[in-house]
A and B are shown apart, each in its own frame.
Chain A
Amino acid sequence: MQQEPIVDVRGLNHWFGVDTARRQALYDISLTLERGSFTILMGPSGSGKTTLLTLIGCLRAVQDGSVRLLSQELNGAGEAQLVAMRRRLGFIFQAHNLHESLTAAQNVMMGAQVHTGVPDALAEKASVHLLRLVGLAERADYLPANLSGGQKQRVAVARALVGQPALLLADEPTAALDKESAAEVVDLLIRIGKARGMTVLLVTHDNRILDRADRILTLEDGRIVRDDRRAPA
């Protein structure tokens, strides 16, 4: 039996603004993301990548069309339902957005404790495990201010993964990193993603990582203009 895709988008349109300022950002987008796939979303600035990412990530309400995420329709979903759905996702942002007053381990714990009823001890154990996976076990008690840019982003990766999300959404996670750190982060996402059967949708302009994707979607002026499926490297 064929598995239902993690993400199934049909005829998605989206607008910003009202009245005369109303501007369409997405036009009739349709796509599916299979379980365990690693997809890169590319396109020039203003092409609608971020809008699409935020709609799939339950950060905006769907206006027109259908977005089925983890078998649930998002069009018409209320705020509480969107919040609940977001707990099943992992997010990595261009800026690490770590909480400056929390240690690396505590930042990662926040990713685990968003699920209600997770005991502190279990959250702590999972956080240490994830930090070990991203090679930062010995930095668990460091505050973000005492970590390098690459290390911070790896903590952000650990935070996104600790809740074992079915879908990871990443927005330019390597943009602020040097080549070595960028490679480390992408390797991590691919390695852990494959090991856990996690789907990854990553927005990037970074040509250094294109060869790592299963699939590259290119967006221009709110439309998908190219869909390259590739054998992973």
Chain B
Amino acid sequence: MMRLLQRLFGRLPIGWLQLTHNRMRFAAALTGVAFANVLVFVQLGIMNSMATATLRPYEFFRADIMISADDANALNEGENVARQWLLQAMADPEVTDGIGLFVTNLPWNRGEQDISLTTFGIDPARPGFLNPEIAAQAGLLEVGDSALIDRLARGIPREEAASIRPQTPLSFETKSRTLTLYGTFAGGGGFGGDGYMIVSDQTFLALFPDRRSTAPDHILLALRPGADVQAAVTRLKRLVSDPSLRIRSYADAAQEELAYQQTRRPTGVIFGFGVLIGVLVGLVIVYQVLSTDVADHLREYATFKAMGYGPRFFMGIVLEEAMTLGVLGFIPGMIVGSTILKVMATVTTLPLQVTASMAVVVFLGTVVFSTLSGMIATRRLAAADPADLF
């Protein structure tokens, strides 16, 4: 290791030698950096899972444009929209088709555990608005009180979900009706429910008699292939009579909900602060280790100054230490953070994991913030006055 660093820096790796000289302190410093990494990984993992969970229901559908009420910040939030806007939108030459999308949460009393399923009501005769897995089973929804269930939903054993097929359906009672599950699709537990279910719009209206077919939660529109989505959005804003409606591309609607969940909902803000606190903890730990190290070696640094070593040399040593702590602290931090997320994912069924991009971001962040801490710590070097050695 030392030879490698010596070749890398073109000088003795003093930072490395200094850090490793006191093994206990080095281990404690690495533990501190790793701890900060674990904090960041776990918080980022949760934030990332929130993003995945937020975007997941959007993957169930295929649409180019979504029309929602002005207060519909999320798929399952906000007022209904009038079906008449769908008819108005259809007047646009680029709009080829449209459906109303109904959504609300439905309880399922499973004896030992009540689960809540975010339930979408769609027109099964329009499979083009569904992702291929769901579209392939859309015909099953034509039967009244039939449903497709999320096989990854929290609270439903995997083997039980796997056994749900048209030949071996599973029925349960809810809202004074008996729903029969004929098929499954891949969803997963989220922050707003334990999983998802898809029913026909007719079944949805039967389950929720206070809802009207003329007032879905959202309107999904499909455009002619190759059409300019943003141009169509602009035209529709003029075409549809109600100016308060949110008319957005489907992709924008997903991203806007993600931003809403991450920055305006308490959960998102809390996890965001968690990341910030992890970064600050790491910054403080590295700074503390480095500034103590500088203070402990002031006489040696002053001696080097007297010998003719310049500011870049000292900056190099401190940054070498910062990088060493950052890189070596990252590895155990990622291993422990990843393990914690795996355990949490098993318990919560949330999509919690360390992704490659997350690992790269945390690694780069660790290096950057360690370097920043090192640069702050170098200020203490000014106290190493070689004239004081005499």
Taking CB atoms, residues of chain B closer than 8 Å to A97 are: 299-300, 302-303, 389
Q: A111-B307, A114-B304, A120-B11 are in contact. List 4 more A-B contacts (CB 8 A).
A: A83-B310, A98-B300, A106-B17, A171-B389
Taking CB as reference atom, which chain B residue is nearest A111? B307
Partner of A106, one of B12, B300, B306: B12
- List of 5 A-B pairs having minimum Cβ-Cβ separation, nearest first: A87-B308, A101-B21, A86-B308, A97-B303, A59-B387
A99-B297 contact in complex given A54-B390, A60-B387, A113-B12, C-beta closer than 8 Å: yes
Contact of A87 among B302, B307, B387 (CB under 8 A): B307
Residue A95 at the B interface, CB < 8 A? Answer: yes
Task: List chain A positions with a Cβ less than 8 A from chain B.
Answer: 50, 53-54, 57, 59-60, 80, 83-89, 91, 93-95, 97-102, 106, 109-111, 113-114, 120, 159, 171, 203
Considering the chains assembled together, what is the distance between the CA atoms of A120 and B3 in angstroms? Answer: 11
By a CB distance below 8 angstroms, the chain B residues around A83 are: 305, 308-310
Given contacts A59-B386, A97-B300, A97-B389, A102 and B12 within 8 Å (CB-CB): yes
Beta-carbon contact of B387 and A54 below 8 Å: yes
B residues at A contact (CB < 8 Å): 6, 10-12, 14, 17-18, 20-21, 297, 299-300, 302-310, 386-387, 389-390
When C-beta atoms are compared, the residue in chain B nearest to A84 turns out to be B308
Cβ–Cβ < 8 Å partners of B305 in chain A: 83
The answer to whether B390 touches A53, judged by C-beta atoms less than 8 angstroms apart, is yes
Chain A residues with Cβ under 8 A from B21's Cβ? 100-101
CA distance A80 to B311 in the complex (A): 10
Query: How many Å from the CB of A43 to the closest CB on chain B?
Result: 14
Give chain A nearest CB distance to B279 CB in angstroms.
30
* List of A residues within 8 angstroms of B303 by Cβ: 91, 93, 97, 99
Contacts of A85 in B (CB 8 A): 308
Contacts of B297 in A (CB 8 A): 99
Distance to closest chain B CB from A83 (angstroms): 5
Please report the C-alpha to C-alpha distance between residue A51 and residue B182 in the assembled complex, in whole angstroms: 94
Given A101-B17, A110-B12, A93–B387 Cβ distance below 8 Å?
Answer: no
Question: Which B residues lie within 8 Å of A113 (CB)?
Answer: 11-12
Docked pose: A171 CA to B389 CA in angstroms: 9
- Cα distance, A84 to B303, chains bound together (Å): 15
